[in-house]
DNA sequence: GTTAGTTGCTACACGAATGTAGCAACTTCG
DNA sequence: CGAAGTTGCTACATTCGTGTAGCAACTAAC
């Protein structure tokens, strides 16, 4: 456990409701360790979580269980981040900015879990739903005249994913809200206007 | 070996110059297998290559050796693909299109190897050089007036990488030259003009 | 035909990681 | 205080992957 304010009193120490706390600690530790070393052992993860390896096995019978739970948790976080941006009700560009900032934070926090191609039904559902919400958002943006009519919303979504990936790479480990906003703004700006100077289509009125 | 025109006559068959052929077959098989299952065993790779596991170990002492060789091979292919686009002499937009098409093909063929964060000096050199070439290309494009002057070439490179990633995802396994050209054109177009409707940036009106 | 080079196959050694079991210690709750 | 719940620790079994060695068979070159 990184948080040293949580002291471990010695062998056999336990408070009645520690189970859930331990589970969360293990999941967080697994994310930290696996994001840097995807093949890390249970031993390594347990050490990072500050618990014994046997305790990890008590909560997650197999390694597969652990990774699976991790992907589910990340997926839920992702869904919450997306929904918090009100992609279906807020003005498209506002929603896009909010969603982007939220997702960048989550993606930074759960980079390993979000990169695993999980077969878990809950994870697949979230990915499908999120994808659909993303496409719908771009459709709304197009209907509102903000997106070129000849752009396929599906392609726009792919590009959007790619830009988020690019932006997530040069984010700090624990980005401030301001940094997240700046990154999100850059993503949205690039997504909409590109990097070109205009040529045939002048974008920036200036 | 997938190519069944290469018949395996039975135990102990060998032609004098089979060594290099075997090496290439193993590397290609490793790419195919590992791209779908990064943790696949040597046994699995050997089977895909159509050779015995011991033969793999004869050519690559350790698993690390194999993966390392694979990343080097992919890096060399990547460098060749980039250079073939004449990024330093051709007109920036022409070069960008050519490089994109070439890289998309390579990235499709060596997706696993290109995703490994190798510490091999040759791989690191290629990545550094390629990165520099990419940034230089965008600088040239900016000087030529094709890229907005307020866009950081480094950010442009990141975006470019992200777009290539996005485009590579919905490419066929063995894309035709026409498909590659279309994908490259879409990447370059999106990179330069974005997906936004022309005539102003709605979210940043001034 | 002889020789050199390559491969398949079997067998083995070794280590690492996984998963399980039992027990003692400790904390919280009633 | 007693009961329940949780954990650390040790020990163990088992499996899996890796890497090595030796031998027979086969092919191409000489």
pLDDT at residue B79 greater than cutoff 50: yes
At residue A96, the pLDDT reads: 98
Query: Which distant-in-sequence residues (6+ apart) come within 8 Å of A35 by Cβ?
Result: A111, A112
Residue A114: give the domain boundaries: 67-193
For the record, the structure tokens of A191 come out as 């997504």
CA angle, B149 then B153 then B156, to 5°: 100
Residue of B nearest to A157 (CA): B166
Average pLDDT, chain B: 90
* Residue B108 shares a structural domain with residue B45: no
* Residue A26 shares a structural domain with residue A57: yes
At residue B94, the pLDDT reads: 97
Listed range (A66-70, A115-119, A177-181, B120-124) with the worst mean pLDDT: A115-119
* Residue B131 shares a structural domain with residue B177: yes
* Residue B55 shares a structural domain with residue B102: no
Q: What is the pLDDT of residues A96-110, one digit of tens each?
A: 999 999 999 999 999
pLDDT at residue A203 greater than cutoff 70: no
| A196 phi/psi in degrees, rounded to 5 | -70, 155
CB atoms B200 and A203 under 8 Å:
yes
Q: Where do runs of H (alpha helix) occur along chain A?
A: 18-36, 42-49, 53-59, 63-84, 92-109, 111-115, 121-143, 153-169, 177-193
Calculate the CA dihedral of residues A67, A70, A71, A73 and round it to 10 degrees: 160
* Residue B183 shares a structural domain with residue B155: yes
* Residue A132 shares a structural domain with residue A182: yes
Closest in A39, A158, A188 to B169, CB measured: A158
Distance (Å, whole) CA A186 – CA A182: 6
Q: Is residue B50 part of a domain?
A: yes
How many structural domains comprise chain B? 2
CA distance A156 to chain B (A): 7
Of B residues 152-171, those with CB within 7 angstroms of nucleic strand C are: none
Distance of CA A119 to the CA centre of its chain: 17
pLDDT at residue B37 greater than cutoff 90: yes
* Residue A75 shares a structural domain with residue A89: yes
Cβ of residue A201 closer than 8 Å to a chain B Cβ:
yes
Asked if A103 and A157 touch (Cβ cutoff 8 Å), the reply is no
Q: Nucleotides of chain D within 7 Å of a protein C-beta?
A: 4-11, 16-22, 24-29
Asked if A109 and A173 touch (Cβ cutoff 8 Å), the reply is no
* Residue A121 shares a structural domain with residue A25: no
Query: Which distant-in-sequence residues (6+ apart) come within 8 Å of A49 by Cβ?
Result: A1, A22, A25, A26, A28, A29, A30, A56
Q: What is the pLDDT of residues A162-177, one digit of tens each?
A: 999 999 998 999 999 9
Closest in A38, A159, A196 to B146, CB measured: A196
């Amino acid at each position: 456990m990184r948080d040293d304010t949580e002291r471990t009193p010695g062998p056999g120490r336990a408070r009645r409701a520690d189970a859930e706390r331990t589970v969360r600690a293990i999941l967080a530790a697994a994310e930290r360790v696996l994001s840097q070393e995807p093949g890390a052992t249970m031993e390594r993860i347990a050490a990072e979580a500050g618990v014994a390896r046997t305790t990890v096995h008590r909560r997650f019978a197999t390694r597969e269980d652990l990774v699976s739970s991790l992907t589910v948790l990340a997926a839920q976080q992702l869904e919450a981040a997306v929904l918090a941006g009100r992609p279906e009700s807020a003005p498209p560009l506002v929603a896009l900015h909010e969603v982007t900032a939220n997702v960048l934070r989550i993606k930074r926090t759960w980079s390993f879990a979000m990169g695993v191609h999980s077969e878990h039904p809950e994870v697949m559902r979230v990915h499908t739903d999120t994808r659909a919400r993303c496409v719908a958002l771009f459709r709304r943006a197009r209907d509102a005249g903000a997106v070129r009519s000849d752009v396929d919303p599906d392609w726009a979504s792919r590009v959007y994913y790619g830009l988020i990936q690019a932006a997530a790479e040069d984010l700090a480990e624990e980005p401030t809200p301001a940094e997240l906003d700046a990154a999100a703004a850059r993503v949205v700006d690039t997504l909409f206007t590109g990097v070109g100077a205009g040529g045939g289509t002048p974008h920036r009125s200036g």
